[in-house]
Amino acid sequence: MLTVMLAGFLAVLGIVAVLVYVRNIQNKVVQGYQRESVLVANGQIPAGTNARQAQHSGLLIPKQLPKFSVPDDAIHTISADISTLVTSTPIQPGHLLLRENLVSRSQRTGNLVIPPGRVAVTMEVCQAADVGGYIRPQNYVAVYGAWPTGSTQLEASCSGGHQVPTPSSVFGKLVLPRVYVLSVTTAPPAGSTSAPGTTLASNAAAAQGALYVTLAATPQQAKLLILLNATGLPSFALTTPSSGITADSRTVHF
């Protein structure tokens, strides 16, 4: 009799544990779909725009979004501690205002606003390495690189393929998993005067479709990017918060 009662008690405990687990899962799902107010660009917000003024002028408006879709650094309200900050880059209509989009006015350098603790580094790439031209300011990219082995040289041409002497003479690896894009420019026509913030480059490079992607990197990351630009072939992958790309020291040989 005691054995039967104990078995029944354990069965009840098991059912209760399952019900509690299911209830916890349901609560997490419900919480994820709860809506919270965040600030969204109601129009094009130029770089250098004061956050408080942008809100007062209607360029920043509150919008209710599901909690699961809101990044951790999204701005919910213009509080006193950020009211004097300015936008680091242009913010496109419909984009969320993120904390990293706001910097002090003293951090502006020409047409670029460099986030705290970062330096601006420009990489020259072909359009294919720029995800077909889809990379824009305020995007995040993963930076990949390809290097030759031994005395092999990689001859890059944006108008054609990359010439590799032998299939086994090149290796590639992930250099940086997540870097913020400040600007993307093309070379101006020969003899023209570049606009502020535009990278000057050769007319030949422009004709071949070269693009110049300026990234906000830490000083340590800048060393890697400059080395890659000088010795290898950089390529970018456009990422999202859910891409899940993490640091990886492994290399792949071709």
d(CA 56, CA 61): 9
d(CA 223, CA 220): 5
Instruction: Give Cβ neighbours of residue 95 (< 8 Å, ≥ 6 apart).
Output: 40, 41, 138
**pLDDT-flagged residues of the chain (< 70):** 1-14, 16-33, 106-111, 150-157, 159-168, 187-209, 249-254
Q: Which of 238, 244, 242, 229 is nearest to 136 (CA)?
A: 238
Query: 212: part of which helix (H) or strand (E)?
Result: strand 210-217
pLDDT at 168: 64
pLDDT at 202: 38
pLDDT at 144: 92
d(CA 60, CA 209): 36
pLDDT at 192: 37
Assign 17 to helix, strand or coil.
Answer: helix
pLDDT at 48: 81
| DSSP assignments along 88-121, one per residue | SS-B-TTPBPBGGGEE-GGGEETTEEPPTT-EEE
φ, ψ for residue 12, nearest 5 deg: -65, -45
pLDDT at 188: 43
pLDDT at 201: 36
* Core vs surface per residue 44-53: b (16+ CB within 10 A) or e: ebebebbbbe
Q: What is the DSSP letter of 74?
A: B
pLDDT at 177: 92
